[in-house]
Each structure stands twice: as C-alpha cells, then as structure tokens.
Amino acid sequence: MKTSALTYTETIERETASIRSRVAGVVDERQWKHAAPYISAINRLKKEKNAVILAHNYQTPDIFFGVADIVGDSLKLAQEAAKTKAGVIIQAGVYFMAETAKILNPDKAVLIPDREAGCSLAESITAKDVLLMKEKYPGVPVVSYVNTSAEVKAVSDICCTSGNAVKVVNALGASRVIFLPDEYLARYVASKTDVEIITWKGRCEVHEKFTPEYIRELRAEHPGVTILAHPECAPDVLSECDFVGSTAQMSDFVDEKQPPRVILITECSMSDNVYAANPKLEFIRPCQLCPHMKRITLEKILHSLETMTHEVVIDPAVSAQALRSIERMLEIGR
C-alpha cells in the first residue's frame, strides 16, 4: 500500500479543532498529530468523490469521530446503507458489513479499506453447511446472523443482527427455527423466546474470551458498577451482567441512564467511543481487541478513497438471493 507522508500544520490544527476536542480523553497528543492530517485529507476527498463512510461502533475514535458519516451497530449500518444517496460507500468495519452494503447497493461502488478484515463467525459456516442443515430439518426456517457471507445469506430465509434477533425469530411465527452461526447469540435468543432454536457451533473469537469469573472479579473490584455485555458472550457471562444488548443498545443505555460507573463487556474501541461521548462517567475499560476491525486505519481509508479499492464484488445471482433475506430483516426493523 502506498503511504502518503502527511504533516500536521496550523491549518490542519484549526480545521480539525472541533474533532480534537471530542476525542481529547481517548487520543493523546502524539496520536492526534499523526491522525489529524489524515482526517483532513479524507474529509476533503470524501466530498470530492461523493463518498459516505459507514463506521461500526468498534472502529477506533480517530475514525469514529474523525471521518465517519454514519456510525452504529450492524443493523443501523445496514439501514443507512439502504437509504444512502452517496455514489461511493466506504465500509469502516469488517467484510460481511461491506458485503451487506453492496447487496443493498448493487449499482454503487462499495469499498473496504482492507479486504482481509474478516470475522470468526462469518468464517465458521458455508452455504453448503446451511443446505445440509436444511436437509436435516426440512421446512424449518433459517435465520442467519448478518455476520455471515453473502452465500450463506442467499440460502437463508431471513437475516438478523444482535439488535433484532429475538424480534426476527418471533416474527416468523414458527415453533422451531435454525439460527446460524453464533451458538451463544442463539442461546441468548432461546432464553428470550418460546421458539425452539437449533443452532450452529460458531463463536466470536473476541467475546468468547470473557469468563464469568472475570466479570465477578470486576464487580468486586469496582463496587456499584453497571456491567453491560454483548450477546455474543457465553450465557454464564451474560448472567453476571446487568444489561445485554447490541453495540448500539449498550451505547444508548449509557447515554440515557448515565450509570456513574460502567463497564462494557465487548470490543475495546467501543468503550473508548462511548466514554468520549460521556466523559463525566467513570469508565472501567477492560479490553479485548477484534483483530479484524483493527485492520481498518485512517491510512487505509485514505488509500481506499485515492485508489477506489478494494471494491466488493458479489455474484449477481447470489446478491439477489441474499437481498431477499436482508430486506425481510429490514422490514421487521429493530
């Protein structure tokens, strides 16, 4: 990748001052002097190219506050991708999110700054695996988490995200559903519905690292703390927490309830971003990095815009089938 040597100037300092103040608590001076010239260049080029940057809540604060036009959980990013009028979409997130944006915008250029930004859940299952499950359980509807490939979505009946999984499962009106591929999210959904859930063995490599012992230790060390967790964590971890929700639902909970001491049991950058927006709250920030999300950097976003790479390409037949599953989910909403 070509790296442009960018320097921090007084003009850049002035141009980016309002962003600097938003990230002051989570980006130090040295990091800022490196980031600001990229933020300035990306924001300029984005306008020239009529591009929009969709950034997931796990993106680092320089991206999240500096260059993103839309931020949110997987569901919000899909909803916004379906509405955008921009000519070019840059996905600051992982590959399945970029594929979802492309499926919803087959005629637009959808770019991912690093095509290796994968996801352990998406990699845990293939379309062939889904077809075998369908053979084993004939007539049972298949709900696929959006953390899957376009091919898996294409052979599913409907998609869901962690923000609407229970609602999607209940909306099917079936007594049994196949819920793929996240075993833990499936077990969380099963605990919230009477529908029988048949699951797969996929795991998020980030959330599976948290243990119930660790949550108990955190609670003992930080009396009065409110602990929020993502439903990709194991059930015995979730049962130690005070609130379970998607990344956006955790962020909304903090914005609305303003718990004085808070811990988010999820990816590191999410805590930085929610803390930056709520600097008066005390955030204890235990950290598990998603190596895939962290592949996306300001340098790569700038390179992506300059060179219009890496364009997401999906077989049109697969894309049309996958669109059905995504649109059914969007009709149900959050």
39 vs 70, which CB is nearer to ligand SF4? 70
290 part of the interface to ligand SF4, by CB under 6 A: yes
For the chain, the residue count is 334
Q: Helix or strand or coil: residue 147?
A: coil
Start-end of H helices in the chain: 10-15, 17-22, 29-48, 61-66, 74-83, 95-104, 127-136, 150-154, 165-171, 183-191, 212-221, 235-238, 247-257, 268-277, 298-307, 316-332
Of ligand SF4, ligand 13P, none, which one does residue 120 interact with (CB within 5 to 8 Å by kind)? ligand SF4
Of ligand SF4, ligand 13P, none, which one does residue 148 interact with (CB within 5 to 8 Å by kind)? none
204 part of the interface to ligand 13P, by CB under 6 A: yes
Q: How far is the CB of 147 from ligand 13P (least distance, A)?
A: 6
10 Å Cβ neighbour count for 213? 11
DSSP calls for 281-322:
SEEE---B--TTGGG--HHHHHHHHHHT-PBP---HHHHHHH
Residues of span 146-165 touching ligand SF4 by CB under 6 A: 147
Tell me the window of 128-136, 218-226, 286-294, 298-306 that interacts with ligand SF4 (CB under 6 A): 286-294
237 part of the interface to ligand SF4, by CB under 6 A: no
C-alpha span between 51 and 43 (Å, rounded):
10
Tell me the window of 20-28, 105-113, 136-144, 200-208 that interacts with ligand SF4 (CB under 6 A): 200-208
Tell me the window of 18-26, 39-47, 108-116, 156-164 that interacts with ligand 13P (CB under 6 A): 156-164
Residues 67 and 298: beta-carbon distance below 8 Å: yes
40 part of the interface to ligand 13P, by CB under 6 A: no
16 vs 247, which CB is nearer to ligand 13P? 247
